[in-house]
Amino acid sequence: MPTVIIPTPLREITGDVTEIQVDAATVGEVIDVLEKEYPGIAHRLRVDDEIRPGLAVAVDGAMSSRGLMQKLTPHSEVHFLPAIGGG
């Protein structure tokens, strides 16, 4: 099952759990599973059908441009990170 690393700002919702294994095939499914276990977390991770503005998703060490549709493998590691802007 993919492993989700919970960022520090969301650990108040997870009761300080830092790492969670979820049965999911996409990042969107990860959020759905997390919401069932930790109500309210989805609101902090997505808006409608997109990753919340100001957040980015990294899967297996690479930033994802596919957002909620990013596919996962059973050994994937998922990180929700603050988006970094530049110019």
CA 75 to chain centre: 15
Report residue 82's pLDDT band, with 50, 70 and 90 as the boundaries.
Answer: confident
In a domain, 31, yes or no: yes
- Model confidence pLDDT, tens digit, residues 14-71: 999 999 999 999 999 999 999 999 999 999 999 998 999 999 999 999 999 899 999 9
Domain count, the chain: 1
In a domain, 36, yes or no: yes
In a domain, 60, yes or no: yes
The pTM is what? Answer: 0.91
In a domain, 55, yes or no: yes
In a domain, 87, yes or no: no
CATH of the domain at 72: 3.10.20.30
Q: Which domain holds residue 10?
A: 3-82
pLDDT of 86 strictly over 90: no
Distance (Å, rounded) from C-alpha 61 to C-alpha 38? 25
